[in-house]
Structure 1
């Protein structure tokens, strides 16, 4: 993200809503962004905000989200609240005139997402889902290859993701009141990946396995596109997946290696040519800096 103020030569001043695990990840990643300063955090308790502020040397510690979005020193807000609070936290920021980077999943359902996007557009404010996968160097290379036409016509995409998680009905992954389910937790990665490569599908079919709390614990999704291309997506929390992704075109294929949603390597295989491997090892930060 760059400063949109003409002539500005200062760093972008970030605020974070929420002080949990994902907020810690983002704060650590932000250290690797040279033009970013983390200057404020908002929590529901002063003690939590202070503890987070002490850990990351954040000068402004707010005991409410409302105080955070009212802070005139904050240029942009990263929403790091639990899934079910993303809509409310994002709208709070937008109504206060703050641009927003919202942690995935962007929203719990399509209705919430439309409301968030419509509000941002009506107010002329930046709003984006924090989908770090799209901005990692491997995915930048993937887009370069796609844009070059080296794959020919894209016909098929496959991506799977999943990790076995012990069952706990109160844990956010299995709790419907906390936005639980495999699709919202991990499935957003292959859905976003398919969207990046193939755009908007015109047909969708799925098979879902519901757990005892009523959330989806695994799903297989087939997406069809006007071009005739198809995408096959798999997500699970019942077993650990191979976590690989492929793009197949008429002139070659791309293989994104394990763990493809936070990739450090890929191989481009032109049909009739030699495979080309590209490695981008994580040498700085934790990867969250790419979405900032």
Structure 2
């Protein structure tokens, strides 16, 4: 017994009891502790399962030094919070599905597991059973030829109690989140095996269903998906209608039926897959013997892969892919949880439910700008890739906790001020207005004039829920208007206190000189910063009309001589340094148009040479190039995921020499 993995269970509900029974039959695990919010519930559970350590709080269980791993058996809406706290406590984690109520929460849980170096798996137990392993083997061997159609159902009829977790919006109810994830994860698994692509996302996703007027959750729904390899899938889930609950797979040479795909057997026994080949009158029953129960296999899977920190049965990428599909399914029906709204309950704190603060050991570096009395993080979070409150909150929380405090937004981002509103809601909810630097932009073509600037700036302040922005930038230039007219109106807003400093995005150096000469001659404030394109890769064609780069030798010379601060956009060349860009790969037309050139591929190759020297990613070298210029730079980054944010930060500690900077830019 001393060699067995010591488990603690958070929660004492029905699934906790099922897992405890599975642990009793496990070859690798033993149950040593249980945690509940009720002392009486903990005592009853401990008595039933002969548990040595019982705790009347979840925190106490996570503090138990005898516990190696925890099984999180709580309501859906508590999964992310307690998985993150378990990771912080250094416990390995098996989290009951779903790992969070959306993709953003799943990202946050996985990031916490990575940061604290603990095992994490989402508990789709069917993935660990020999029946699923045999199904994968049959698909891979071509038993039914080329897979063409997948049908998967998991649906049942529950009662009418709107306070029950399955019908309760506040508790993350509904069929999609509770059992629809089995269907999506099975379809993705089969498509991935059939195409040899591993984890595969659908190329198309459409859905219809019924959202209860009283419950406000999806009560039953159907989704149609298309996967690579010309594979299509039809999925059916619900909590208010009984389904057949089988999986059928149709191929070019036959079909397979899995009569009991989700719970083959909770105890040891036999299960079966029915194989029908074209032209054969008799179906073949493929029997799978299992010497353990379903949840015993799940516990043993954790132990088998604990050193790898994730299991191939349900990898982190699998979880993220699956959560994204569930988000798509709910979005198609308009099913939104209160906890996903900025004005919903308990939205003042991050997922871990502690006040927001910079984590110890942050590697962020800071700079200063005239007129702004706060340090400014050298990396700036672009606020243009976030479309929901949940996604924005997770991304912004993480950036802030890493030491980032500067956020770049604009009047036009997201349409109808959506991105400005999300940023304003986050700053207000978190109470961090005096700790963050807001860079906001306005007066974009065709509304690039002093009058539009004033109107947009006032509207932006309302959206941002603030009476000032730290740094305001003109989003485009209008050469038909004298630069001095812009300077005059910007100074009016500066004197009114609605902007601490200002600058210009996509202005030529000649126009910036003109503007600052006007300001100097009249004792006015001038531009303190620019935001033009600047990256290791040369922008061949403008990404958007009216865009200007500042990476040419003359611009760099002027920036160095004047010390003007640059907030470069597309500082990582919009993905040119991510992955394995090749001149022969023209699938991304925008990347080809803007960045493909012989000299840029030479720069990429040199970046790869430094990758081998510094053991970092090419994108890290590219960002370090921008950070290591002889003039102040505050690169704008536009991560869509926490992983993308994480890959940017190592550049802060990579001090390229002036010689390496010149060599990377082919100046040798």
Q: Give me the TM-score of the superposition, normalised by structure 2.
A: 0.41
User: In the alignment, which residue of structure 1 is the partner of 2:273?
Assistant: 266
CA distance in 1, matches of 2:155, 2:228: 29
User: In the alignment, which residue of structure 1 is the partner of 2:296?
Assistant: 289
Compared with structure 1, are the counterparts of its residues 9 and 54 closer, same or farther at alpha carbon in structure 2 (3 Å cutoff)?
A: closer
User: In the alignment, which residue of structure 1 is the partner of 2:250?
Assistant: 248
1:112 aligned onto 2:105: yes
Check conservation: 2:220, 2:241, Cα contact below 8 A: no
Per-residue deviation, 1:171: 0.9
CA distance in 1, matches of 2:14, 2:167: 18
1:276 aligned onto 2:276: no
User: In the alignment, which residue of structure 2 is the partner of 1:217?
Assistant: 219
Q: What secondary structure does 1:191 align onto?
A: helix
1:204 aligned onto 2:205: yes
CA distance in 2, matches of 1:238, 1:38: 35
> Which of 104, 120, 123 is the matching residue for 2:116?
123
1:77 aligned onto 2:79: no
CA distance in 2, matches of 1:121, 1:288: 25
> Which of 14, 17, 37 is the matching residue for 1:24?
17
Per-residue deviation, 1:35: 1.9
Compared with structure 1, are the counterparts of its residues 9 and 47 closer, same or farther at alpha carbon in structure 2 (3 Å cutoff)?
A: closer
CA distance in 2, matches of 1:251, 1:33: 39
CA distance in 2, matches of 1:143, 1:64: 41
1:64 aligned onto 2:57: yes
User: In the alignment, which residue of structure 2 is the partner of 1:3?
Assistant: none
What are the Cα deviations for residues 42-85 of structure 1, in whole angstroms up to 9, with x where unaligned? Answer: 11122221211111011011111111111111111100011110
CA distance in 1, matches of 2:156, 2:261: 13
User: In the alignment, which residue of structure 2 is the partner of 1:41?
Assistant: 34
Per-residue deviation, 1:227: 1.7
Per-residue deviation, 1:275: 2.6
What are the Cα deviations for residues 127-159 of structure 1, in whole angstroms up to 9, with x where unaligned? Answer: 111111112222121011122232322111001
> Which of 167, 176, 194 is the matching residue for 1:174?
167
Q: What secondary structure does 2:165 align onto?
A: coil
Check conservation: 2:79, 2:95, Cα contact below 8 A: yes
198-207 vs 259-268, which deviates more?
A: 259-268
> Which of 215, 225, 228 is the matching residue for 1:226?
228
User: In the alignment, which residue of structure 2 is the partner of 1:4?
Assistant: none
CA distance in 1, matches of 2:161, 2:106: 28
Structure 2 residue ranges without an equivalent (≥5):
192-199, 265-270, 300-668
What are the Cα deviations for residues 231-263 of structure 1, in whole angstroms up to 9, with x where unaligned? Answer: 110012222111121112222221111x33223
CA distance in 1, matches of 2:220, 2:125: 22
* Larger Rg, first or second structure (1 or 2): 2
Per-residue deviation, 1:25: 0.7
Per-residue deviation, 1:278: 2.2
CA distance in 1, matches of 2:60, 2:177: 29
**The structure with more strand, counted as a fraction of residues:** 1
CA distance in 2, matches of 1:41, 1:9: 19
Per-residue deviation, 1:290: 2.1
What are the Cα deviations for residues 102-130 of structure 1, in whole angstroms up to 9, with x where unaligned? Answer: 01122111111111112212322211111
1:158 aligned onto 2:151: yes
CA distance in 2, matches of 1:46, 1:80: 17
Per-residue deviation, 1:9: 7.3
CA RMSD in angstroms, aligned pairs only: 1.8
How many matched pairs?
283
CA distance in 1, matches of 2:188, 2:99: 14
Compared with structure 1, are the counterparts of its residues 235 and 276 closer, same or farther at alpha carbon in structure 2 (3 Å cutoff)?
A: same
Q: What secondary structure does 1:39 align onto?
A: strand
